[in-house]
C-alpha cells in the first residue's frame, strides 16, 4: 500500500517519495553495489533449491528490543552445494542443522553462504525434499516511520501494554528472519509461532492453530497458511487484542472474516469494519473469488498505517474514512470509504495472489491495486464517481522516473506506479470500450496466474491477447518512459488535423473524442485529417478518461 493527503502538495510529494503500504522507497538509488546484486539476482546459490515451507518460531523481548528464534525451511534440493540465505545486519545466524548434522557458513554483509556439500567434490545428487533449521537472534532494525521505513515496531497501546509488529515490504523479510529473500520463490505454505508474555495475544497469517502455555509466564501462539505467501507478508502482531468476526457468503462459499483490534478500539472497529464485506463484494465482482478462502480473511490493528499482509491485513487508519481522513483524489468520493481497508485488501488479488518475480515490476502490485480503489467506487457509487476519483488522483503524479525499475538489483520503479499506473489501466479500459470484457480480463488474470509469480511481459501479453488489442506501445509509453503522450490538433474550417507527440515510436492508441459528435480516432505520429462537418463547428474535446495531454496548434 501507501499514501498521503491531497491537502498539501508537499505532503503529496512526500508520500510518493516513500510510497509503497505501498513499499519501502527503493527507487532512489543512482548506482548499484555488489550487495544489491546479491539481494536482487537469481544466482545458482538460490536457484539450486526451491522453498516449500517456512516454519518460523520467534520470541521477542520488548524491553531489550531483541528477538530470537528459528526458521525450519522445507525445501526441494535440486543439487545445492552452497546455499545463499539472507539475514540482514545486525541480525545473527547462530547455526544451521539438519537432523543431527550441522553445516558451516560464512557471512558477507546481509548474506550467509551455507555449505551443504563440499564444492570441491562431485556428488551423485538425487533431487528431493529436505528440511533445515536456521537458528537466529539479534536486535533487528527498528522501523522509524513504518510502513515506509521498515523493520520491527516496538510500541505501546493506550493502557501501557507492549504492542509489537513488523513492516518489511521492499526492505525484505530478511530484516528479521533468515530466508531466500526474493519474490520469485514463495513458500507453498508457512507457519508462525510467537512466544509472548501471558498478558498478550499474538496474531499471525492464516488460521489459528493453537495456544500453548509454557509455564514460565509466556505462551506460544501458532498460526499457519496453507497457500503460497510472500516472504514480507509473514508477520507477527502482538498486543492486547480482542476478536470479533463474521462469515461472508462469497463466490466460493463461506468465507471467515475475522477482526483483531485493541480492546480500546473495539466499538469503533465494529462500525468502521463494515467496509470489509463491502470491499469483498466489489472485488469478487471485479477480480474473481478471494484467493485464500482456506486461510480466511483478517484485518488486524497495527502500530502503523497499513500493509497487505496476506490473510492478516494490517490496519492503522485511525477508524476514519479516506486516507487518514483525507481524500487522495480531491473528488470527494475518497471520503465515502476507508482507504486502508479497500486498498490493502485489494492487494490480496494483486500482490498476494499475483506477485511480481522482481520488485522492478511492482507496478503489477500497485497499479492494479490503486485502480481497485476506482473500481470499488464505481461498484458502489457509479461509473461517473469512479471516473472522477481516478482523474482526481492525477495531481499526485510526478513523472520523475519510469514506473519499471532496474532488474536483478532489488530496485523498484517510480512511486507513480500508484496513480499513473491506475490511470494507465483506466485508459486501457476506455480503449477496450467494453466493461464486461475488461472485468473478465481482470478476473482472468487472477485465474490464469493464480498463486503465481509473474513478469511484466506475461501481464502485458495476457491483456493484449484477451482484449484482442495490441497494447504493447501503451505499456511502453506509461511504464517505461516519463512522458505523457500529447495529442496535437488544429481545426481549420470543417477539417480537424491531429497527431501524437511526446510518445514512443509507433504509438497509435485510439481516442474517444467529440467533434460535433462522439467518435473514435486513431492518431499516430503523422498528421491525419477528418473532413466531416460543416465549416464553423470547430469545437473539439478528448474524453477526459484518457490519460493524455492535448495541445491546440495554429
DSSP-assigned letters across all residues of 149-165: S-EEEEEE-TTS-EEEE
d(CA 365, CA 476): 18
d(CA 301, CA 287): 25
Cα torsion 156, 160, 161, 164 to 10°: value is 0
Instruction: Tell me how crowded residue 455 is: count the other CB atoms within 10 A of its CB.
Output: 16
Residue 227 belongs to a domain: yes
Residue 415 belongs to a domain: no
Q: Which domain holds residue 232?
A: 42-320
Give the cell for residue 477: 509509453
Beta bridge partner(s), residue 531? 495
d(CA 138, CA 69): 10
How many structural domains is the chain composed of? Answer: 2
- Output the average pLDDT for the chain: 94
Given a contact cutoff of 8 angstroms between Cβ atoms, the answer to whether 544 and 514 are in contact is no
pLDDT 10s digit of each residue in the chain, 554 long?
444 333 333 333 334 333 433 333 455 566 899 999 999 999 999 999 999 999 999 999 999 999 999 999 999 999 999 999 999 999 999 999 999 999 999 999 999 999 998 877 877 788 999 999 999 999 999 999 999 999 999 999 999 999 999 999 999 999 999 999 999 999 999 999 999 999 999 999 999 999 999 999 999 999 999 999 999 999 999 999 999 999 999 999 999 999 999 999 999 999 999 999 999 999 999 999 999 999 999 999 999 999 999 999 999 999 999 999 999 999 999 999 999 999 999 999 999 999 999 999 999 999 999 999 999 999 999 999 999 999 999 999 999 999 999 999 999 999 999 999 999 999 999 999 999 999 999 999 999 999 999 999 999 999 999 999 999 999 999 999 999 999 999 988 778 899 999 999 999 999 999 887 899 999 999 999 987 655 555 678 999 999 999 999 98
Residue 125 belongs to a domain: yes
d(CA 72, CA 91): 17
Of 320, 355, 385, which residue sits at a domain end? 320
**Can you tell me whether residue 294 is helix, strand or coil?**
helix
pLDDT digits (tens, 9 = 90+) for 477-515: 999 999 999 999 998 877 889 999 999 999 999 999 988
Could you tell me the CATH number of the domain that includes residue 512?
Answer: 2.60.40
Given a contact cutoff of 8 angstroms between Cβ atoms, the answer to whether 261 and 303 are in contact is no
Closest CA to 386 of 550, 549, 544: 544
d(CA 120, CA 128): 22
Residue 172 belongs to a domain: yes
Residue 159 belongs to a domain: yes
Residue 183 belongs to a domain: yes
Could you tell me the CATH number of the domain that includes residue 65?
Answer: 2.60.40.1730
Residue 308 belongs to a domain: yes
Residue 337 belongs to a domain: no
Cα–Cα distances (Å) from 211 to 193, 219, 295, 445, 490, in that order, read 9, 7, 18, 38, 72
Q: Is pTM, for the whole model, over 0.85?
A: yes
DSSP-assigned letters across all residues of 59-127: EEETTTTEEEEEEEEEEEESS-SEEEEE--TT-EEEEEEETTEE--EEEETTEEEEESS-TTS------
Of 269, 291, 320, which residue sits at a domain end? 320
d(CA 367, CA 421): 4
Of 290, 320, 350, which residue sits at a domain end? 320
Amino acid at each position: 500500500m501507501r499514501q498521503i493527503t491531497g491537502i498539501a502538495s508537499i505532503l503529496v510529494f512526500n508520500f510518493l517519495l516513500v510510497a509503497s503500504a505501498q513499499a519501502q522507497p527503493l527507487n532512489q538509488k543512482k548506482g548499484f553495489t555488489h550487495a544489491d546484486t546479491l539481494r536482487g539476482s537469481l544466482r545458482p546459490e538460490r536457484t539450486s533449491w526451491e522453498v516449500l515451507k517456512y516454519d518460523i518460531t520467534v520470541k521477542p523481548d520488548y524491553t531489550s528490543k531483541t528477538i530470537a528464534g528459528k526458521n525450519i525451511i522445507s525445501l526441494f534440493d535440486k543439487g545445492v552445494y552452497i546455499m545463499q540465505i539472507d539475514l540482514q545486519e545486525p541480525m545473527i545466524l547462530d547455526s544451521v542443522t539438519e537432523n543431527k548434522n550441522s553445516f558451516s557458513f560464512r557471512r558477507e554483509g546481509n548474506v550467509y553462504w551455507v555449505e551443504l556439500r563440499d564444492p570441491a567434490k562431485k556428488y551423485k545428487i538425487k533431487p528431493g525434499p529436505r528440511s533445515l533449521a536456521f537458528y537466529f537472534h539479534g536486535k533487528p532494525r527498528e522501523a522509524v516511520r513504518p510502513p515506509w521505513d521498515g523493520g520491527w515496531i516496538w510500541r505501546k497501546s493506550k493502557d501501557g501494554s507492549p504492542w509489537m509488529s513488523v513492516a518489511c515490504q521492499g526492505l525484505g523479510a530478511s530484516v528479521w528472519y533468515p530466508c531466500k529473500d526474493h519474490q520469485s520463490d514463495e513458500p507453498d505454505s508457512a507457519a508462525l509461532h510467537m512466544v509472548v508474555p501471558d498478558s498478550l495475544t499474538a496474531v499471525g497469517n492464516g488460521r489459528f492453530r493453537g495456544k500453548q502455555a509454557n509455564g514460565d509466564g509466556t505462551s506460544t501462539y501458532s498460526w499457519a497458511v496453507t497457500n503460497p505467501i510472500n516472504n514480507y507478508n509473514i508477520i507477527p502482531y502482538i498486543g492486547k487484542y480482542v476478536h470479533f468476526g463474521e462469515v461472508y457468503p462469497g463466490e466460493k462459499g463461506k468465507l471467515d472474516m475475522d477482526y483483531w483490534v485493541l480492546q480500546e478500539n473495539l466499538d469503533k472497529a465494529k462500525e468502521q469494519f463494515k467496509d470489509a464485506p463491502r470491499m469483498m463484494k466489489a472485488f469478487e465482482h471485479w477480480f474473481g473469488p478471494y484467493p485464500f478462502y482456506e486461510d480466511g480473511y483478517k484485518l488486524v490493528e497495527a502500530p502503523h498505517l497499513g500493509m497487505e499482509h496476506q490473510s492478516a491485513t494490517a490496519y492503522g487508519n485511525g477508524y476514519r474514512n479516506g486516507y487518514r481522513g483525507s481524500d487522495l483524489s480531491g473528488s470527494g468520493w475518497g471520503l465515502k470509504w476507508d482507504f486502508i481497508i479497500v486498498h490493502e485488501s485489494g492487494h490480496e488479488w494483486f500482490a498476494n495472489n499475483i506477485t511480481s518475480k522482481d520488485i522492478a515490476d511492482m507496478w503489477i502490485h500497485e497499479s492494479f491495486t490503486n485502480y481497485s480503489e476506482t473500481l470499488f467506487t464505481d461498484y458502489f457509487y457509479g461509473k461517473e464517481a469512479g471516473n472522477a476519483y481516478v482523474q482526481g488522483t492525477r495531481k499526485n503524479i510526478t513523472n520523475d522516473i519510469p514506473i519499471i525499475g532496474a532488474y536483478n538489483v532489488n530496485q523498484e520503479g517510480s512511486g507513480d506506479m500508484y496513480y499513473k499506473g491506475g490511470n494507465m489501466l483506466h485508459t486501457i479500459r476506455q480503449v477496450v470500450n467494453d466493461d464486461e470484457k475488461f472485468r473478465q480480463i481482470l478476473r482472468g488474470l487472477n485465474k490464469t496466474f493464480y498463486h503465481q509469480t509473474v513478469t511484466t511481459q506475461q501481464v502485458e501479453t495476457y491483456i493484449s491477447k484477451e482484449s484482442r488489442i495490441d497494447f504493447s506501445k501503451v505499456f511502453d509509453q506509461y511504464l517505461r518512459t516519463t512522458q505523457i503522450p500529447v495529442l496535437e490538433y488544429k481545426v481549420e474550417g470543417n477539417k480537424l488535423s491531429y497527431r501524437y507527440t511526446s510518445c514512443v515510436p509507433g504509438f497509435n492508441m485510439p481516442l474517444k473524442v467529440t467533434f460535433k459528435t462522439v467518435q473514435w480516432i486513431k492518431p499516430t505520429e503523422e498528421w491525419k485529417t477528418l473532413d466531416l462537418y460543416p465549416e464553423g463547428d470547430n469545437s473539439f474535446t478528448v474524453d477526459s478518461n484518457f490519460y493524455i495531454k492535448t495541445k491546440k496548434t495554429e
